[in-house]
Amino acid sequence: MKPVRKDRWASYVHVSGDGVHTFLQEHVKTRDGNNKSCLIVGKGFDPRMLGGATALTAVLDPRQLSIIVLVFDEGPTSPSRKYDKLVQQNIDTLMRMVPSEQVRERTIKMFSSEGRRVTSRSAESVFRSADEFSGFSDIFVDVSSLPRSVYFPVVAKLLHLLDGVKDGAAPNLFVMVSESAELDRRIVEEGIDEDADYIHPFRGAVERESAAGRPKVWFPLLGENQSVQLARIYDLINPAEICPLLPSPSMDPRRGDNLVLEYRELLFDRLRVETRNFIYASETNAFEAYRQLRRAILHYAEALEPLGGSNAVISANSSKLLSVGALLAAYELKCDGADIAIAHIEAHGYMLTDSEDDLDRLASESRLQCLWLSGGCYA
Amino acid sequence: MREPRNPFRLRASEAIESDTTFLKLFGPGMLELLPSGQHLWDKPQVFRSAPGAGKSSLLRLFTPSVLLTLHSFRRNDDLKELYQKMAEIGVIGEEGPQLLGVFHSCARNYATLEDLEFDTARKERLLFGLLNARVVLAALRSALVLHRLDYPADLGRITFGANVFEAFGSTFSVGSTGEDLHRWATKLEGAVCDAIDSFGGSDLKRLPGSETFSALSLLHRESLMIDKKPVAERVLLLLDDVHHLTHRQRSRVLKVVAELRAGVGIWLAERFEALSSDEMLSSGMSEGRDYEGEILLERFWREHPRKFETLLLNVADRRANAAVDVEISSLDSCLQASLDGPEWVAKYEAAIPTIRSRVIKAVGDRSLFQAWIQAQEDAAGTARDRSISWRTLEILVHREIKREQGSFDFPLSASELTERSDSQLKAAAELFLSQEFNLPYYFGTRKLATLASWNIEQFMRLAGDEFEEVVSSRTVRRAATLDAGRQDILLRAASASFWSEIPRRARNGEKVLKLVESIGRFCRQRTYEPSASYDPGVTGIAISMQDRESLQDEGFLQRNPEYSVLADVLAAAIANNLLEPRLDSKAKGSSWMVLNLNRLLCVTLDLPLGYGGWKEQHLRDLYVWMTAGYKPKQAALL
């Protein structure tokens, strides 16, 4: 492993709730009046896909906002197809927010011709050059209605492209996410894939025969109702050591305990995890998750160096906010030459467990988070 | 990691990191799967099954570190039997392992190569390049492990036969050592993986590749030497997870393997999901087909149910023995196996008057059944025997009444009652009785083994639930025996959980659930007919072999797209072991593909666990079941 530089997001900008509006207002004031913003959202039935657009159109002239809608087709038999009407409603609302010519779609292929998952590779190639963003001073990625297999490679690729801009005129990159525990509880994955896989471009060295002797250390970010997913990710990795990350502190002070209870059998009886291996990070702070993961991964790499090093694998079956922290840790370590992988398992689609009637109400109660990942404030 | 409290909960045995623990938990009965004779070592063998059937564990058994451990502990009581069996097939001897097993999992990034923007020929070169590099690396490491040498420090002691240099062409010169091959393979693997894992993948075009699977040249006795002596008597390549390759890659690799000259040992393990819907629908047990070189695990165990039961009980005892908190030598000793104990007498005694009065009511003023009723009134035996006999009589009475029209009202003799009360009918009576009077039905080790549906992981899950209770009972100083009622409750909970996982587990999960649920409801409807016409019950359906062929016919599916979905859903159900296929069953002058429910699914539906009863269905009915669900024409008995 190469020498690791200072953690990039030791200081960071993260605003949430009402603070997002104030922050965006202030931010818009600081820039040239001719500058434009680009918002990237996912086309989905979750009304939270509109959260970022609503916040931005409240502070920006709609003519200054371009929207790229990422379209991912889960196939004709996906359970999500039941909600095509809701998807169209969301798109219609979006089209009313900005002039229609400023909304463009980009398609992400989810399956190969023979039905194999190709989502993350396809998502990574949606943006190929930083030139695609010339004329934009800010790029916002609203990950609220994007699956991890899409927003992980998209955000990583954007960071990579913007990091490669040499003349210092790179746009700012923000990630937005609307968090609602109730909506998350209602939207469940269905038809989980038989096998987990690594997200492109985070395969690390775990699959290499030349690195087979190195112990694999798995850092699963725990969230509710993920036992099948965790078991299958475990089967993929077959780690020597497991360090679960619990969301603690959290709004519900018992959440961490409840998660341990939920996965008691899997973690302790089947996988025999050591209790001292648990890592904790605030459920509302992605950057803390980033810091904790980064520190733990580097610690293992150093401790296992005499054995030839280690292969770290992260999986983020947690809230989207915390998963952004996992992505930042993986991206930074990958850039520094570390062997880091992100394991993930996809589902055939999503289902609502309850009625769809009060989705809009729940979405309006969700809390918008905005994370500034690269650009002016880190210069 | 900590010691296991409940060893049944340990994940698949390939994840058990200690070779000693792995060996202690390994059931030697798994070796029954291997065909006898030299073909095992000089012809490719394909192991195919649903997940959790034990393929990877079987392959792991032949890897160097496991064989060395087995040799070291060959006199240990727990491992004697396994050692003996392995010695019989020539894998190990007093002097040590005789086989170099080179294990390689295809669950890597091979499939990703197919997504690169190259022509097919280039992708194939990359596939073989990567495969060669990885098999070479695995072979070098395994060879050193087998000889207890240091990896990579001792690579220089490895040399190769002329055929290896021939196979790799100009890549190596004669005299190259393990160090040279290691360096080449590491570099090649690193270059390909770095390029695949990069943003954009711009430098992919310059990647090295190979024309064919040259690494197979290492699989000859004289190909791989340490200090100029063959590494082992035999070399065996163990390719696991072949289903992770794309269809094109898989068929290319299988083709190369099929074209191999005799004398090369290679075992391939893959899940059913590697097969297309068409191939999947061909995967049932068929009479008279030649399966040489192809071992279908579920099919084998279905043909040898006693061997499977012995294997499971052996594995269960080994796991029970490994528990650290309790001293239990066998799971069987912890599970109540019959309802003949005094605690059940009152329940059975209470059932008799109810059944008796129902029988009397059904008979009415018919003189036909007088001798039967009298014989039953006079019958001796335990309360359980008598209640089952009364329930048997009730079913027979319903049968006679059903066919009463046109028959002569000659009184039926007591001997006819005995004659007609066969074991199948008694089994149905016992099932009905358990449902009507809330008696446990699913208990005991034999039923536990049957509920595995030929899948070891499924057995571990069920046995783990029961063992958990045993361990907990010991912790609170209660008797460590699990009564039949508690076993029944635990197995019903496991069944409910298994059902609830279907939509999440299987592709087209909702449709699979709807179809399987419909089949289940149909089976229940037929099982609980008052006359128990299909005693002891119906636990499966069948489609004609002709319909099955239609589901495999691309033209038919294009003309009838709804059946294309049905074919995919049936294939997904079979691949996930929710339906157990059996081809070419003969009945009513035709051949049928029988689809039995996974036995664990039967529990929630209160169905028996035998495989006898099935009922034929048309494709159009199955399509309706899959989309709208099964709607019974009449109410069930229960």
pLDDT per residue as tens digits for the range B141-159: 999 999 999 999 999 999 9
Secondary structure of chain A in HEC code, one letter for each residue: CCCCCCCCCCCCEEEECHHHHHHHHHHHHHCCCCCEEEEEEECCCCHHHHHHHHHHHCCCCHHHEEEEEEEECCCCCCHHHHHHHHHHHHHHHHHHHCCHHHEEEEEECCECCCCCECHHHHHHCCCCCHHHHCCEEEEEEECCCCCHHHHHHHHHHHHHHHHCCCCCCCCEEEEEEEECHHHHHHEEEEEECCCCEEEEEEECCCCCHHHCCCCEEEEEECCCCCHHHHHHHHHHHCCCEECCEEECCCCCCCHHHHHHHHCHHHHHHHCCCCHHHCEEECCCCHHHHHHHHHHHHHHHHHHCHHHCCCEEEEEECCCHHHHHHHHHHHHHHHHCCCCEEEEECCEEEEEECCCCCCHHHHHHCCEEEEEEEECHHHC
Do the Cβ atoms of A77 and B511 come within 8 Å?
Answer: yes
What pLDDT is attached to residue B521?
Answer: 95
pLDDT class of B247 with cuts at 50, 70, 90: confident
Count, residues in chain A:
379
B160 SS3 class: strand
Question: What is the model's pLDDT at position B357?
Answer: 92
The answer to whether residue A323 sits within a structural domain is: yes
Q: Going residue by residue through chain A (379 aa), what tens digit of pLDDT does each one get?
A: 554 567 899 999 999 999 999 999 999 888 777 789 999 999 998 899 999 999 999 999 999 999 999 998 777 767 777 888 899 999 999 999 999 999 999 999 998 877 788 999 999 999 999 999 988 999 999 999 999 999 999 999 999 999 998 876 789 999 999 988 778 888 888 778 878 999 999 999 999 999 988 999 999 999 988 988 999 999 899 898 999 999 999 888 999 999 999 999 888 887 888 889 999 999 999 999 999 999 999 999 999 988 888 999 999 999 999 999 999 999 999 999 888 999 999 987 888 877 777 888 888 888 999 999 999 888 7
Nearest to B137 among A189, A192, A210 (CB): A210
Are A169 and A316 in a shared domain? no
Residues A292 and A321 in one domain: yes
What's residue B436's pLDDT?
Answer: 92
A115 and A23 co-located in one domain: yes
Residues of A in contact with B503 (CB under 8 A): 190-191
Residues A136 and A217 in one domain: no
Token code pair at residue B530: 């008052």
pLDDT of residue A139: 97
Best of A209, A265, A350 to mutate (most B CBs within 10 Å, chain B): A209
Considering the domain architecture, whether residues A301 and A244 belong to the same structural domain is answered as yes
SS3 for B190-210 is HHHHHHHCCCCCCCHHHCCCC
Instruction: Tell me how many residue pairs between chain A and chain B have CB atoms under 8 A apart.
Output: 122
For testing the chain A interface, which of B142, B507, B627 should be mutated: the one with the most A CBs within 10 Å? B507
B241-253 mean pLDDT: 90
Q: Kindly list the residues from chain B whose CB atom is less than 8 angstroms away from the CB atom of residue A234.
A: 11, 15
Query: Which of A257-266, A276-285, B269-278, B361-370 is predicted least confidently?
Result: B269-278
Helix axes B383-402, B370-378, angle to 10 degrees: 170
In this prediction, residue B290 carries a pLDDT of 34
pLDDT mean across residues, chain B: 87
A66 is a domain residue: yes
pLDDT at B289: 36
Q: Do residues A69 and A204 share a domain?
A: no
Query: Has residue A71 been placed in a domain?
Result: yes
Per the DSSP assignment, residues forming a β-bridge with B146 are: none
Task: Give Cβ neighbours of residue B56 (< 8 Å, ≥ 6 apart).
Answer: B12, B13, B14, B240, B241, B269
- Give chain A positions within 8 Å (CB) of B10: 270, 272
**B 529-548: CB under 8 A from A:** none
Q: Are A102 and A208 contained in the same domain?
A: no
Same domain, A24 and A147: yes
* Cα dihedral across residues B177, B178, B182, B188: positive or negative: positive
Quote the Cα angle for A369-A371-A373, to 5°.
165
Q: Which residue has the higher pLDDT, A222 or B414?
A: A222
Contacting residues for B247 by C-beta, under 8 A, at least 6 apart: A114, B276
φ/ψ of B252, rounded to 5, equals -65, -45
One domain for residues A169 and A199: no
pTM score: 0.83
Q: Can you give the pLDDT at residue A25?
A: 92
The angle formed by the CA atoms of residues B467, B473 and B478, to the nearest 5 degrees, is: 140
Q: Which of residues B6 and B125 earns the better pLDDT score?
A: B125
Q: Which amino acid is at B535?
A: D
pLDDT at B599: 96
Task: Give the CATH number, domain containing residue A39.
Answer: 3.40.50
**pLDDT confidence of residue A142:** 97
Distance CA(B129)–CA(B184), nearest Å, equals 11
Contact yes or no for A112 and B134 at CB 8 A: no
Contact A191 B111 (CB under 8 A): no
Q: Do A240 and B17 touch (CB under 8 A)?
A: yes
Amino acid B285: pLDDT: 46
Task: At A259, give phi and psi (nearest 5°).
Answer: -65, -40
Return the pLDDT at B405: 59
Q: Which structural domain range is residue A154 located in?
A: 13-184+354-378
Q: Which residues are CB-contacts of B248 (< 8 A; sequence separation ≥ 6)?
A: A114, B114, B120
Closest approach of chain A CAs to the CA of B303, in angstroms? 27
Give the sign of the dihedral formed by CA B303, CA B305, CA B310, CA B316: positive
- Residues 194-233 of chain B with CB under 8 A from chain A are 196-200
C-alpha–C-alpha distance, residues A129 and A70, integer Å? 17
How close does chain B come to A193, measured CA to CA in Å? 7
State the pLDDT at residue B203.
64
Residue B408 has pLDDT above 80, yes or no: no
CA separation for the pair A87, A46 (Å, rounded): 8
Contact across the interface for A348 and B141, Cβ inside 8 Å? no
* A301, A211: one domain: yes
d(CA B498, CA B79): 34
Q: Give yes or no for a contact between B160 and B151, defined as CB atoms under 8 angstroms apart.
A: no
Nearest to B503 among A160, A190, A273 (CB): A190
Quick check: is A262 in a domain? yes
The answer on pLDDT for B43 being more than 60 is yes
Query: Is residue B202 scored above 70 in pLDDT?
Result: no
B159's enclosing H/E stretch is strand B158-160
Instruction: Determine the distance in angstroms separating the CA of A221 from the nearest CA of chain B, rounded to an integer.
Output: 19
- B424 vs B431: CA distance, rounded Å: 11
Sign of CA dihedral B522, B523, B526, B530: negative
Same domain, A226 and A297: yes
Q: In one letter, which amino acid is B29?
A: G
Least confident of A2-16, B87-101, B351-365: A2-16
For residues A100 and A95, give the distance between their C-alpha atoms in angstroms, rounded to a whole number.
5
Separation CA B6–CA B326 (nearest Å): 9
Shared domain check, A162 and A38? yes
Q: Which of A194, A235, A272 sits opposite B1 (nearest CB)?
A: A272
Q: Residue B3: what pLDDT?
A: 56
CB contact under 8 A, B115 and A118: yes
Q: Which of A312, A242, A255, A319 is nearest to A288 (CA)?
A: A319
Taking contacts as CB-CB distances below 8 angstroms, the residues of chain B near A265 are 9
A234 domain-assigned? yes
Q: State yes or no: pLDDT of B332 exceeds 90.
A: no
Composition of chain B by helix, strand, coil, percent to 5: 55, 10, 35
Nearest chain A alpha carbon to B501: A228
* B505 touching chain A per CB within 8 A: yes
Specify the number of domains making up chain A.
2
Task: Give B292 or B558, the one with higher predicted confidence.
Answer: B558
Q: Which of A124, A197, A207 would best serve as a mutation to test chain B binding (most B beta carbons within 10 A)?
A: A207
Would you call B364 exposed, middle or buried from its count of C-beta atoms within 10 A (0-12, 13-18, 19+)? exposed
pLDDT value of residue B577: 87
**φ/ψ of residue A49, rounded to 5:** -65, -15
Peptide bond into A249 cis (omega under 30): yes
Which amino acid does the sequence have at B144?
L
Mutate to test the interface with B, among A210, A216, A237, A333 (most CBs of B within 10 A): A210
